[in-house]
Chains A and B, each alone.
Chain A
Amino acid sequence: MEKIKDTSSKTKDFITKAWLWIAIITFWYLITSTGLIRPIIIPPINTVIKSFKELWPSLPKALGISLYMIIVGFVLGTLLGIGTSIAMAYSKFLRESFSSLFDFIRPVPVFALIPLFILWFGIGKVPQIALITVGVSVIIGVVTLDAIRNIPKIYVDAAYTLGARKKEIFKTIIMPSIFPYIIGSIRVGAASAFGLDVAAEFMGSQEGLGYMMIIQQNYLKTNGIIAIVLIYSVLAYLLDRLLCYLETKLTYWTERRVTGKEDFSFYE
């Protein structure tokens, strides 16, 4: 296929990928420059760029704080989610003791816990990281448990007849084989870590990107809010790309198509 591709089809490729972006930006420009819509609802593009410049000096610190909380919360949440699920799959005692409790806790909206967390941990980074951790671990925990449940029994049977014991089954069969099935939830967890961070910072924070957003809102600076939303989008996008990259490195053995590349050509 590669050989038949000439320059004209490359331009065609570029157009299919770019037209929607160009359309959105043009539309944005048109509705704001014609005064069709008030700047407080949708500000002109140039004011968004301007507020980037204004925010620039305070960005590194805010970015550092928010990223720190997101990354720490995301990593802890991922480990907690995978860890509890594996422990529950491993031990019948843990499974039977904890499953009903977990089933009860899981549907509770994490955001409803914010006031409690503030009461327990005070204002600051701890309740915010705790919130992200819990939110992420719930998402990843459910999927991990399901992935373990759906491991083809034949792999476990084969390992047993090759001399594996339970501990070795978990280490050599369950851990590697669940990975392709939980990577999707890890990506969802990463994306929601950003959302949880914003919510956490809205509730009680004196620093960070979300806090900056609240300040912009207080001064009715829609352009500033959009600028910060864009920063969040870029960060979330970059983290997602990183996870996709790690996935292709770690699951090169699967027959599944690589996620992150929307390839549906198999039914076209």
Chain B
Amino acid sequence: MGGEPNKLVLKNVSIHYKTKRGPFLAVSNLDLETKEGEFVSIVGSSGCGKTTTLYSIAGLHEVSSGEISVDGNPIKGPSSKRGMVFQNDSVFPWLTVFQNVAYGLKLKKLPKEKIDPIVNDHLKLVGLSNFKNVFPRELSGGMKKRVDLARAFANDPEILLMDEPFGNLDYMTKESLQLAILDLWEKAHKTVLFITHDIEEALFLSQRTIIMTGPPGKIQKVVNVPFPYPRKVLLKTSNVFQEMRADLIKSLGLSSA
């Protein structure tokens, strides 16, 4: 991995938020790099600026200073090359499950013969083949998240940005979706930037875990996660995993609690 060029680079990025009391510094002088195909997670408490960072990488929020670039080119606004899965439900309720997953492909004006197999494959990967023609209102929260994931992956972005996608789900659903996402990632090998407040989730999924503190958001620690893929759920209960987890809890300053 070391020899590969960087895919996504954030150089000295600061981001402000407009509030009624004036601009609020959410992220300050952040530097971040990811390799092509790398799975990186960012862990931090609520309000530390991690979501703001992700929105800026998506092109949905402007940076105040510094630069975000992909393959060396500075980004300009949102693009289908940087797909995103949001914390809250973003499945379009007026489209069926199939139409949701096909949404981005239709925008690309792909012919129907090409769209159908892509959508069907991705629905199969997330286990929703039997719900193709169902409208989202009939789906559970976990199933909607699966639609979100399938839609993002089917659109074939170069980078996938995930903003605490499983934050609102129960433990069992979350665990099965973690496996689904690893499965999708191992098949497609996209660059993934995964935000979570759950240290266990970050370690279980990613190759590299970044601890962020704030506001203003800055990187406190970077940890390489050595476990080989494919990862199994039981990894979470192993000693090595638990020791790493304990270390990270300490570095977040939570050990005394």
* Residue ranges of A at the interface with B (Cβ–Cβ < 8 Å): 154-155, 157-164, 168, 172-173, 176-177, 252-255
Contact = CB atoms under 8 A, between A and B. Distances in A.
Most chain A CB neighbours (cut-off 10 Å) among B55, B94, B152: B94
Contacts of B59: 160-161
A182 to B, nearest CB: 14
A136 to B, nearest CB: 25
Most chain A CB neighbours (cut-off 10 Å) among B59, B93, B136: B93
Contacts of A160: 58-60, 77-78
Closest 3 CB pairs between A and B? Answer: A163-B80, A162-B104, A160-B78
A161 B135 contact: no
A163 B79 contact: yes
A230 B159 CA distance: 64
Most chain B CB neighbours (cut-off 10 Å) among A162, A168, A254: A162
Most chain B CB neighbours (cut-off 10 Å) among A161, A176, A177, A253: A161
B122 interface: no
B92 A164 contact: no
23 contacts: A154-B88, A157-B55, A157-B58, A157-B60, A157-B86, A157-B90, A158-B84, A160-B58, A160-B60, A160-B77, A161-B60, A161-B82, A161-B83, A161-B152, A161-B157, A162-B104, A162-B152, A163-B155, A172-B103, A176-B92, A176-B94, A253-B94, A254-B137
Given A160-B59, A163-B108, A154 B137 contact: no
Given A157-B60, A157-B86, A255-B137, A162 B94 contact: no
B80 A162 contact: yes
Interface residues of B, number: 31
A73 B54 CA distance: 49
Contact of B94 (A157, A163, A177): A177
A177 to B, nearest CB: 6
B33 to A, nearest CB: 21
Contacts of A159: 103
B147 to A, nearest CB: 11
Nearest to B81: A163
Q: Is the interface of B mostly helix, strand, loop or mixed?
A: loop
A168 B137 contact: no
Interface in B129-183: 135-137, 151-152, 155, 157, 161
Interface string B82-105: 111010111011110000000110
B1 interface: no
Nearest to B155: A162
A164 B107 contact: yes
A158 B90 contact: yes
Given A154-B86, A157-B58, A163-B155, 13 more contacts: A154-B88, A157-B90, A158-B90, A160-B58, A160-B77, A161-B58, A161-B59, A161-B82, A161-B84, A161-B152, A161-B161, A253-B137, A254-B94
B108 to A, nearest CB: 6
Contacts of B137: 253-255
Contacts of A173: 92
A154 B85 CA distance: 10
Contact of B93 (A161, A163, A164, A253): A253
